[in-house]
Structure 1
């Protein structure tokens, strides 16, 4: 008794070609739209990280500016010299 083997990939492919053209088109559309979602999420995360880095740089520059203003004000105050 010989066991008959079926090629499952070939059967599914033939079924899609003969009976499931609409299903195949929808499957391809789903794969493309899912890929677009993944790419969009990845780019959005990159932009959020970039924005956070820019906010940190801005805060650092503000602190540096405040320190420079404080230093300028401290250096511009004349010292009281009682001997004169």
Structure 2
């Protein structure tokens, strides 16, 4: 008598498709749920990283803006403007007798 070995993979597949449909569907749903969790976690981490980069860039731009405001304030001081006018542009305050007043009617 020759005895053949049963194909175990074939028996398991046949058992899953006939008797074990509910566990097979549950297994597929659990796998899909796990993949959804992994996908959502990945995208959440990417969003957090992007947000952190944008916040860092905002802080950098805010510091640069503050420095520019300080520079503008320093350059617009009356004493500095007067000094530049006198030294660099050779301007001087006109004498009182040379001033001309223009009136609009």
Q: Greater helix percent: which structure?
A: 1
**Deviating more after overlay: 13-22 vs 72-81:** 72-81
Deviation at 1:2, TM superposition (A): 6.6
Task: Answer 1 or 2: higher relative contact order, Cα 8 Å, separation at least 6.
Answer: 1
The TM-score with structure 1 as length reference comes to 0.83
Q: Give ranges in structure 2 of 5+ residues lacking alignment.
A: 84-91, 93-105
The CA RMSD over aligned residues, in Å, is 2.2
Greater Rg, structure 1 or structure 2? 2
Q: Give ranges in structure 1 of 5+ residues lacking alignment.
A: none
The TM-score with structure 2 as length reference comes to 0.68
* Corresponding residue for residue 69 of structure 1: 69
What is the total number of aligned residue pairs between the two structures? 82
